């Protein structure tokens, strides 16, 4: 009898474990959630989060703290630098509106398809001065601070300036410098900054070594000096910050930046810098089950997440079960359709032709796209749709669209080699902040990552974002490189409102992975009721069936990366549906997020168990 009861008990236990494993719902998290009532600051480096906390402790708001974190992450070379680009969404509690900050640089004078083709290039290069668009982060930081902050540039830059004087460099960054030293040695100004042990076996700094950036410190001092002089002359806080802005883009800093760029073979001119402006824009938005989800405009990949959510509204995801075969397959197919549209239709809205965003984001178009999903197998030929009829127009690119699949086959790569994966998940960082007044900030800054080419004696690494352009309109007629044009980038901060109030602020790093993992994070909370930290750490999956925005612009049709925790039967069923599966132990991020708990009047902070990303709350 004892054996019978034992046998029955084992069957019952097996059933429970099978159910839990199938749903794969996380029970415990590797990182504890953050909690705060007054403010919260989360970013890619603990030291940078500390910079945000320092500003909050001095009475700054979430904008002030975000700017301090941005400055710190740039100074720490957290896979970005001061010469890169800044993209932000801001919730203004005074107007109850979401604001978009477009601080992406533009292609310089002379950057044409023929220029690069004559050099034998299929795309603009990944590294060096010819990879650079104009620097956007300094202007983005100063614009956000001037328009929405409360503190001076001197106060907000103080932590970063202390770091430029010398800070203990983290081993992760130091080792990336060592790995990239062959590229760094091509550029004299980079070599001077990054390789303090030139000629020794290890030429990069060691982890924990005090890393000093004298040239960058001088550049930051010039900005602060200009601001303080303007204040002494009776200028307002805002006017003084913009005086520093002008010195960077029109003064001696701009002159040295352009000189240093051109000396090393780059194209950026003083006039390019003077002509560039930060744009404060209206974001794009869709609703998912009544929740308003905001993303930046089509100069980013952000609208692809909105398109995917529109498609997914036509399915009962919750009934499928978290990370079930049906769920993964449906989401994978929906993303592929949205990303195919991204690959063909997205580009800088300041240039013609006009992107058909009204049609792309319409619910009716999403319903038609949803009908294309085969429930039984992967579609390796997912192509862009035709959104023009959904805004009452005729598609002017039908002839290109009809041949798009065959024209792109030459760029096809069906293997997940190390270089492909590195290009596909090219990193950056993310910054999330909020305060008790109701300001909410989500930023995904990037550009100028190691191995960066530093522009003259400014200490500023130039962006590598030019590579996100294409040279042939057959690939994307909206994203062909041209002087003064912004490339279509992967960078994609996110904000969501529910019942008219902030619900989630979330973003992540890692190139083309960003929106597909942010979608899964969002659905983890909305459909499956996870806490923000559970949602950040929960096993995710990745598709590579869209063209990489970097390097050789390749894709891997049907390739699917699953978390190693996925059950064997899910793996088997997906393989039978035509997927080529690889596995990773950690697939979720790094996602950084803030959840607004209106029931208890507090903030919950989450950060993936994927890297160093974390934050501080109070």
Model confidence over 549-576: pLDDT tens digits?
A: 998 888 888 999 999 988 999 999 999 9
Q: The whole model's pTM is what? A: 0.93
**Confidence at residue 7, expressed as pLDDT on a 0 to 100 scale:** 31
Class for the domain spanning 281-430+484-617:
alpha beta
Cis peptide before 87 (omega within 30 of 0): no
DSSP 81-130: -TBSBEEEEEEETTTTEEEEEEE---PPTT--HHHHHTTT-SS--SSSGG
**Confidence at residue 21, expressed as pLDDT on a 0 to 100 scale:** 36
**Confidence at residue 3, expressed as pLDDT on a 0 to 100 scale:** 38
**Confidence at residue 435, expressed as pLDDT on a 0 to 100 scale:** 98
Model confidence over 495-514: pLDDT tens digits?
A: 999 999 999 999 988 888 89
Contact 35, 602 (CB under 8 A): yes
pLDDT under 70 in the chain at which residues?
Answer: 1-27, 405-416, 422-427
Contact 41, 616 (CB under 8 A): yes
**Confidence at residue 172, expressed as pLDDT on a 0 to 100 scale:** 87
Query: Domain residue spans in the chain?
Result: 59-278+440-468, 281-430+484-617
Task: For 554-569, give one letter per residue: b (16+ CB within 10 A) or e.
Answer: bbbbbbbbbbeebbee
Contact 445, 74 (CB under 8 A): yes
CA dist., res. 145 & res. 99, Å (int): 14
**Confidence at residue 17, expressed as pLDDT on a 0 to 100 scale:** 33
**Alpha-carbon distances, residue 335 vs 29, 164, 307, 544, 562 (angstroms):** 27, 41, 8, 10, 16
**Confidence at residue 611, expressed as pLDDT on a 0 to 100 scale:** 75
**Confidence at residue 382, expressed as pLDDT on a 0 to 100 scale:** 92
**Confidence at residue 20, expressed as pLDDT on a 0 to 100 scale:** 36
């Amino acid at each position: 009898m004892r054996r019978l009861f034992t046998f029955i008990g084992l069957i019952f236990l097996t059933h429970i474990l099978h159910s839990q494993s199938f749903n794969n719902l996380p029970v415990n998290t590797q990182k504890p959630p953050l909690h705060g009532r007054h403010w919260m600051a989360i970013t890619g480096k603990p030291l940078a989060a500390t910079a945000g906390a320092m500003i909050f402790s001095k009475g700054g708001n979430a904008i002030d703290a975000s700017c301090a974190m941005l400055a710190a992450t740039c100074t720490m070379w957290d896979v970005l630098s001061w010469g890169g680009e800044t993209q932000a969404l801001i919730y203004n509690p005074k107007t109850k509106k979401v604001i978009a900050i477009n601080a992406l640089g533009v292609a310089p004078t002379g950057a044409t398809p023929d220029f690069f083709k004559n050099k034998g290039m299929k795309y603009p290069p990944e590294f060096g001065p010819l990879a650079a668009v104009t620097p956007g982060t300094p202007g983005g930081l100063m614009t956000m601070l001037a328009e929405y902050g409360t503190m001076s540039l001197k106060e907000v830059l103080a932590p970063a300036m202390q770091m430029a004087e010398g800070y203990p460099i983290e081993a992760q960054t130091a080792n990336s410098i060592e790995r990239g030293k062959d590229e760094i040695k091509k550029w004299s100004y980079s070599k001077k900054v990054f390789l303090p042990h030139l000629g020794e076996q290890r030429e990069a700094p060691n982890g924990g070594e005090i890393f000093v950036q004298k040239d960058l410190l001088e550049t930051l001092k010039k900005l602060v000096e200009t601001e303080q002089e303007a204040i002494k002359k009776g200028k307002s806080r805002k006017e003084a910050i913009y005086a520093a802005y002008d010195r960077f883009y029109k003064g001696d800093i701009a002159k040295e930046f352009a000189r240093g760029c051109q000396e090393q073979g780059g194209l950026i001119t003083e006039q390019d810098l003077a002509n560039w402006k930060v744009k404060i824009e209206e974001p794009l938005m869709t609703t998912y089950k009544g929740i308003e989800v905001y993303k930046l405009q089509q100069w980013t990949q952000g609208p692809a997440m909105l398109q995917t959510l529109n498609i997914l509204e036509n399915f009962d995801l919750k009934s499928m079960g978290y990370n079930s075969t049906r769920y993964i397959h449906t989401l994978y197919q929906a993303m592929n359709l949205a990303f195919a549209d991204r690959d063909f239709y997205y580009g800088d809205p300041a240039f013609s032709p006009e992107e058909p965003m009204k049609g792309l984001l319409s619910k009716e178009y999403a319903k038609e796209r949803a009908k294309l999903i085969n429930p039984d197998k992967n579609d390796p030929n997912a192509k862009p749709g035709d959104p023009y009829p959904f805004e009452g127009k005729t598609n002017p690119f039908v002839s290109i669209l009809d041949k798009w699949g065959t024209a792109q086959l030459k760029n096809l790569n069906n293997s997940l080699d190390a270089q492909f994966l590195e290009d596909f998940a090219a990193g950056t960082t993310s910054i999330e902040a909020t305060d008790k007044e109701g300001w909410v900030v989500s930023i995904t800054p990037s550009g100028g990552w190691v191995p960066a080419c530093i522009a003259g004696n400014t200490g500023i690494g130039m962006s590598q974002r030019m590579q996100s352009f294409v040279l042939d309109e057959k690939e994307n007629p909206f994203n062909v490189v041209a002087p003064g044009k912004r490339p279509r980038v992967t960078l994609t901060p996110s904000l969501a409102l529910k019942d008219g109030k902030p619900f989630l602020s979330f973003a992540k790093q890692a190139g083309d992975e960003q929106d597909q993992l942010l979608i899964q994070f969002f659905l983890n909370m909305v459909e499956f009721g996870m806490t923000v930290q559970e949602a950040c750490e929960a096993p995710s999956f990745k598709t590579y069936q869209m063209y990489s925005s970097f390097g050789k612009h390749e894709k891997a049709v049907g390739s699917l990366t699953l978390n190693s925790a996925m059950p064997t039967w899910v793996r088997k069923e997906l393989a039978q549906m035509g997927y080529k599966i690889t596995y990773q132990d950690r697939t979720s991020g790094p996602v950084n997020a803030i959840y607004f708990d209106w029931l208890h009047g507090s903030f919950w902070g989450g950060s993936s168990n994927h890297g160093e990303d974390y934050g501080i709350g109070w």
